[in-house]
Amino acid sequence: MAAWEQVLDDLVQVRGHALARYAALLTGSRAEAEDLLQEALVRCFGQVRPLRDVVAAETYVRRAMLNVFLDGHRRRKRWTGVRHLIARPAQVESPEAAAADRISVESALASLRPRLRACVVLRFYDDLTVPEIAQRLGLAEGTVKRYLSDAVGRLEDVLGPVMSSSERPDTVDIKEAR
Amino acid sequence: MTIDLSAALHDLVDGHRPGGPPPVDVPRVRSRARRRRAVHVGAVGAVGVGTAGAVAIGAMYVTGTRDARIVLPADPSTAPSDTATLDSLVILPSDPSAAPGECGSNISPLLGTPDPTLGMRASAWSDPSAQSGERSVPQPRPLGAFASSTVYLDVVSSLPEDGAGPPSTELSSTQDTLAMVEQSYSDRLAERDAGEAVKQSVLDDLAGAVESLRTSVEQKLAAGEETAPPTALARVRVLVTQDDRVVATATLPREGQSDADAAWDRTPSGLLRETVILDLVTCTVDGVGGELLPTGTYGALVVRDGEPLTGLTGPWTIVVPPQVAVSGLPGDFPTDVVPMPPGRLLSVSGDAATGWEVQISVEGLDRLNAAAALLTDVDDAEEEALDPLGATVIVPGWSVHVVPASADGQMTLVYRVTPD
């Protein structure tokens, strides 16, 4: 088995489900997420330059998923068709709070426009700075700040107050975003 | 209750124990990646043998961009006296006596009730922004403009029986890849023997790939792995028309393509898809043909092979953009080793000492692949990276990074050319 095939196997075995869930954050649909992940894997492992490191490969695959996702949504704006279905859930205080958070955050994210959703994922999952997000998405920094502000506002409309435990310098924190 | 967004997202992605079946069909991903790698390996440096459907490997890169082998007319904005165009040299096929659906025939009498179970869309090979997650058969619509002379189309079927039979196995997909690479190696050797310029590095790469794949096949056979049994697959025809005349055609699966390789992808939505490689060259009537399609808008229609042509579905439209060479670059810009696809210069800055940044408008969803193919065709060029975000190619004396972008509603390419 070639080295890149071993990396592919290891990546899917160890991080495949996490990558699929990351894709689902972007797509809002688990079925579409699997398509997105498959396409990104083919593109990343189908290039001449070999991927020999699982950690680097995961980063690369996530970047490819983001790019394919954003380009596709420049033309398709299906979020508008489901946004009205998202209702603010009742706040829960229970031992299952984390699971409830997971479900409600996933639903709330799905209500955002694709670019806003991408900004949120890059900022609050990938922990990128505003300049880094701007560079990744090909946007002005001011635009990214506005997107993040809009996104946090919409998430709070659905989820109630949100905060982030991973603030970094030169990022937009939750308060600033509001 | 306040939700910690970072923690919630990390919990969503990483807060699960690994388990259950993998979220993707790993053998299928590996098979597709192998074929894609084989295309890269087999095609680098090969120019001029892109016979439609003859060899799957390298079809995109062998034929390259539409200007890879020809001298383009200059940009009329900078050379207004030059009114000659390539298009005036091309005669589109027309043959009133041709059988329906054949090259040059008129299809207007055939158009009946479209088949709702069959559709097409641009493949991610040709349109990097293409999404594969559609839930229904794509309806006829404009597919866009393409800068390359080869377009990859995904045919989508809602009939499960089109892809009947077992999926390909690890062994069968490796055997398919081996067959493609062997064919490409054989072709390159024949070209060299015929006196054509073929890089030794290309031959070495192919020989290495053949050796590696043969070893892999032998190991799998020794381990008792079985190849996929023969299976019945639907074959489709794609007709490219202008003014209802058939001017180009393609068939899926291609001649010589094995069933294992041709097995349709099953998508999570339940639809099937397979890729058609469509060369935008004229089909042949009485020995005349094989020319690049001239600038214009064409219709693409699809039908299952063997079914009545009244079931032709389409047209999806494909635009062949104007073929005008980029002009206006500084005199000391290394145009000999940094070829560009047809387009118009938007901006250029820099100098030979520090490097250049160039932006050109290029009409074509596949402009990045077209640009990368031209660069890798340069003698002694080495491709460093090619992904949807951009390409980096080392050409003699220079490192070239090219990314697709847009400006003022135009599709563009941005080149960063730095001394190597």
According to CATH, the topology of domain A86-178 is Arc Repressor Mutant, subunit A (1.10.10)
Partners of residue A1 in chain B, C-beta under 8 Å: 216
Burial B66-93 (b: 16+ CB within 10 A, else e): bbbeeebbbbeeeeeeeeebbbeebebb
Contact B106, B309 (CB under 8 A): no
Q: Range with the lowest mean pLDDT among A3-7, A78-82, A138-142, A149-153?
A: A78-82
Going by C-alpha positions, the residue among B165, B174, B163, B164 that lies closest to residue B227 is B174
Q: Which of A1-10, A93-102, B374-383 has the lowest mean pLDDT?
A: A93-102
The domain spans of chain A are: 1-76, 86-178
Residue labelled with tokens 């009742």: A90
Contact A164 B212 (CB under 8 A): no
Place of tokens 């426009």: A113
pLDDT at B59: 25
Cβ-contact B140, B122 below 8 angstroms? no
Closest CA–CA distance from residue A145 to any residue of chain B (Å) = 17
Q: How do strand A162-163 and strand B3-4 relate by DSSP bridges?
A: parallel
- CA of B125: which chain A residue's CA is closest? A43
Q: What is the pLDDT of residue B43?
A: 42
Q: Is the pLDDT of residue B349 over 90?
A: yes
If you search the block for the tokens 């090219």, which residue do you land on?
B402
Select the residue from B4, B13, B219 to test the A interface by mutation, using most A Cβ atoms within 10 A: B13
- Write out pLDDT tens, residues A139-172: 788 888 999 999 998 888 888 888 776 554 444 5
Identify which has the larger pLDDT, B177 or A116: A116
pLDDT at B336 over 70: yes
Instruction: With cut-offs at 50, 70 and 90, classify the pLDDT of residue B171.
Output: confident
pLDDT at B267: 67
- Residues in chain B within 8 Å Cβ distance of A105: 3, 5, 8-9, 12
Report phi then psi at B216, rounded to 5: -65, -45
Question: What single DSSP character describes residue B332?
Answer: T
pLDDT band at residue B273 under the 50/70/90 scheme: confident
Out of B9, B20, B32, closest to residue A105 by CB: B9
Place of tokens 């939505």: B269
pLDDT digits over B193-252, tens only?
A: 888 888 787 788 778 878 888 888 888 889 888 776 655 677 889 999 998 899 998 887
pLDDT, tens only, A117-147: 889 999 988 888 888 888 777 778 888 899 9
The pLDDT of B22-26, averaged and rounded, is 82
Cross-chain Cβ contact B12/A102 below 8 Å: yes
String of DSSP letters for B38-101: HHHHHHTT--S---TTT-STTHHHHH-BTTTTSPPPBPTTT-TT----GGGG------TTSPTT
CA angle A114, A117, A119 (to 5 degrees): 110
Contact yes or no for B12 and A105 at CB 8 A:
yes
Stronger pLDDT, B51 or B295, i.e. the higher one = B295
Chain B positions touching A139 (Cβ under 8 A) are: none
pLDDT digits (tens, 9 = 90+) for A53-62: 777 788 888 8
Give the nearest partner residue to B10 out of A36, A93, A125, using CB atoms. Answer: A125
Please give, rounded to a whole number of angstroms, the shortest distance from the CA of B391 to a CA of chain A. 11
> B387 and A64 in contact by Cβ < 8 A?
yes
Measured on CA atoms in the order B219, B224, B227, B230, is the torsion positive or negative?
A: positive
A residues 143-162 lying closer than 8 A (beta carbon) to B: 152, 155, 159-162
Confidence check: pLDDT of B88 > 60: no
pLDDT digits (tens, 9 = 90+) for B113-158: 888 999 999 887 788 777 656 678 999 999 999 998 888 888 998 8
Mutate to test the interface with A, among B3, B127, B225 (most CBs of A within 10 A): B3
Whether residue A87 is predicted with pLDDT greater than 80 in this model: the reply is no
| Interchain pair A31, B269: CB under 8 A | yes
> Which one of A4, A10, A37, A71 makes the best mutation probe of the B interface by having the most chain B beta carbons within 10 Å?
A71
Residue B69: pLDDT band (50, 70, 90) is very low
pLDDT, mean over chain A? 73
CA distance B107 to B166: 36
pLDDT at B242: 92
From B28's Cα to the closest Cα of chain A, the distance in A is: 9
Mutate: best of A48, A55, A82, partner B, most B CBs <10 A? A48
Residues of A in contact with B34 (CB under 8 A): 46
pLDDT-wise least confident of A6-10, A161-165, B15-19, B253-257: B253-257
* pLDDT above 90 (res B178): no
A155: which chain B residues are within 8 Å (Cβ-Cβ)?
Answer: 5
A64: pLDDT strictly greater than 80:
yes
- A residues 39-78 lying closer than 8 A (beta carbon) to B: 39, 41-49, 60, 63-64, 67-68, 71-76
Q: What is the mean pLDDT of residues B37-43?
A: 55
Q: What is the mean pLDDT of residues B266-284?
A: 79
Count contacts between A and B (CB, < 8 Å).
Answer: 189
Mean pLDDT of B170-190: 76
Give dist(CA B138, CA B155) in Å, integer.
Answer: 9
Domain residue limits, chain B: 85-165+230-320, 344-419
Higher pLDDT pick, B178 / B163: B178
Q: Is the dihedral of CA A53, A59, A65, A67 positive or negative?
A: negative
Mean pLDDT of chain B: 77
Kindly identify which residue of chain A lies nearest to residue B14, measuring between CA atoms.
A18
CA A130 vs. chain centroid, Å, equals 15
Residue B331 has pLDDT above 70, yes or no: yes
* Pick from B8, B25, B212: CB nearest A105: B8
Residue B229 half-sphere exposure, CB side, CA atoms within 13 Å?
3
- DSSP-H helix ranges across A28-166: 30-45, 54-75, 79-82, 97-110, 114-124, 130-137, 141-159
Contacts of B25 in chain A (CB under 8 A): 38
Under an 8 A CB cutoff, do A102 and B36 touch? Answer: no
Q: pTM here?
A: 0.55
Within an 8 Å CB–CB cutoff, is residue A32 touching chain B? yes
Of the two residues B261 and B335, the one the predictor is more confident about is: B335
Pair A127, A168: CB distance under 8 Å: yes
Q: Which of B12, B34, B219, B266 is most worth mutating to test chain A (most A CB atoms within 10 A of its CB)?
A: B12
Q: How far apart are CA A128 and CA A120, in angstroms?
A: 10
- Residue contact A41–B29, C-beta within 8 A: yes
Give me the percent of chain B exceeding a pLDDT of 70: 75
Q: How confident is the model at residue B268 (pLDDT cuts 50, 70, 90)?
A: low
Judged by average pLDDT, the poorest of A112-116, B68-72, B245-249, B291-295 is B68-72
Which of B374, B372, B348, B367 has the alpha carbon at shortest distance from B412?
B367
Lowest pLDDT segment from A107-111, B218-222, B231-235, B401-405: B231-235
B4 neighbourhood in chain A, CB within 8 Å: 162-165
Nearest-by-CA chain A residue for B10: A125
Q: At what angle do helices A97-110 and B5-14 cross, to 10 degrees?
A: 90
Q: Which residue has the higher pLDDT, B174 or A105?
A: A105
* Lowest mean pLDDT, pick from B24-33, B303-312, B403-412: B24-33
